[in-house]
Amino acid sequence: MISLKDIARICDVSESTVSKALKQRPEIRAATRERIQTVARQYHYQPNAIVESIQTGRSRTIGVAYNNFTDGFAGRIMTAVLDTLYGQEYDTMVICWDLIVKQGADVLSRFSRRRVDGLLLFPMVQLPSPYYLEELRSFHNPVVVIDQTWPGNEFAFVGSEHQQGAEIATEHMIERGLTNLGCIYCSTTSSGQERYAGFLNVMARHGLPVRANSCLDLKNCFDRNYARIRQLLDRPDRPEGLVCFNDYCAFEAQAVAYDLGLRIPEQLSLVGFGDLPLAALMRPQLTTVSQFPEEIGHQAAVVVLSELERKKTGQTAPQVRTPVKLIIRESVK
C-alpha cells in the first residue's frame, strides 16, 4: 500500500505538503494539490486511521449497543444511523448489549478500548443496573439513548412523541363513535408507560370509564402474547376497540379476533403503533401511528456527533422528540 512518503517522493514534495494537500488545506497551491491528489487516487492511497486518531484525538468511530436484530422498526432506525454516520465519514462498532450483559462481561470497556468517540444506546431488555449506570457516567464521550429512557436519565435522548401518538389514536376511535375502549400496553418500558398515559388522558378528557379488565399489561412486549390477548377478547364484555402498544400486538390481536370469529372492524377495532410495512398488507389494513424510525435514527446520529462539540460548553444534554402521525386505514369502525 502506498504511503505519504511514497507520494511525496513521486511528486517531489515534502510529506507535510502531501498531508496538507490531501486535507484540502488552502495554503497548498491548486496545481500542487491536484497533482498530489491524482497520484493518491491512482495508487489507491488510504490514510492510516491509527495515526489520524493519535493526531486528532478521535477515532472517527461511534459505538452502537444494539439488541433486537430481528425487529423491523429498530432495523430501520439502525439503517438511518449508519447512513448518517457514514455520510459524515464515521465508522461504527456494534455490540449486542443484552448478550454481553448476560455473559457478565464489562460492556463499556470494549468501547473504551477501541477509543470510540461516542455511544448510541438502543433499548435493553432490562433497564441498566446502578453498576452499568455508573459505567455510563464514567464514559467520557457522549452517550445518546434511543427510543427508551428511564427516570432520572441524564444522558442525551432521541425518541418519539409516544404519549401524543396514543392520544391521537384514542381520539380517532372516540371520533368514530367507540366508547368502550381497552389498551394493550407494556409497563416495563418508558414508551409503554407514556402510551398508556396518553390513552388514560384522552379517556378522562371525554369522561369515559376505563375498566381494569379491558386493559392488558404485557410486562414483556417481546414475548408472544396471543394467549393473554385471547383471554382479554374471549368475553362477552370485551372492549369494542383496542389501542395496542405496537403493531406486533395489533397483529396478534387480529389473529385472536380471526380465531374467535370476530370481524374487524365491525366487532373489534384496532390501532397499532409503529407503522411496520406489514400493517398495510394485513386485511383489513391496520390503522396505526407512524413514528418515522428513519428520522429517529438520523437525529440520534446527528445528536451524538454534535455532542462531541457541545460537551465542552457544559449545557444540558438534549432531549429530542420526533413527531408522530396517525395513518388511517381500515381497522377502525
**Domain limits, CATH 3.40.50.2300, in the chain:** 56-160+294-323, 162-291
CATH top class, domain 56-160+294-323? alpha beta
What is the pLDDT at residue 54?
Answer: 46
Orientation of helix 247-260 relative to helix 226-233, angle to 10°: 60
What is the pLDDT at residue 332?
Answer: 97
Give domain 162-291's CATH superfamily. Answer: Response regulator (3.40.50.2300)
**Could you tell me which residues come within 8 angstroms of residue 227 by beta carbon, excluding any fewer than 6 positions away?**
none
Average pLDDT over residues 288-304: 96
Q: What is the dihedral of CA 271, 275, 277, 279, to 10 degrees?
A: 10
What is the pLDDT at residue 103?
Answer: 55
Stronger pLDDT, 121 or 45, i.e. the higher one:
121
Percentage of residues of the chain with pLDDT beyond 70: 87
> In Å, how far are 7, 25, 33, 219 from 13, measured between CA atoms?
8, 15, 11, 67
Specify the amino acid at residue 296.
Answer: I
- Give the Cα separation of 250 and 118 in Å (integer): 36
> In Å, how far are 109, 184, 220, 260, 268 from 125, measured between CA atoms?
20, 19, 8, 32, 31
Q: Which of 115, 159, 155, 113 has the alpha carbon at shortest distance from 132?
A: 155
Specify the amino acid at residue 300.
Answer: A
pLDDT tens digits, one per residue of 227-260: 999 999 999 999 999 999 999 999 999 999 999 9
Written as nine digits, the cell of 292 is: 418515522
Instruction: Record the pTM.
Output: 0.81
Output the CA angle 273-274-279, nearest 5 degrees. Answer: 90
Other CB atoms within a 10 A radius of the CB of residue 285 amount to 14
- Give the Cα separation of 39 and 2 in Å (integer): 10
Averaged pLDDT of the chain: 87
Instruction: State the pLDDT confidence band at 126, using cuts at 50, 70 and 90.
Output: low
Other CB atoms within a 10 A radius of the CB of residue 108 amount to 21
| Res. 23: pLDDT tops 80 | no
Instruction: State the pLDDT confidence band at 301, using cuts at 50, 70 and 90.
Output: very high
Average pLDDT over residues 43-47: 75
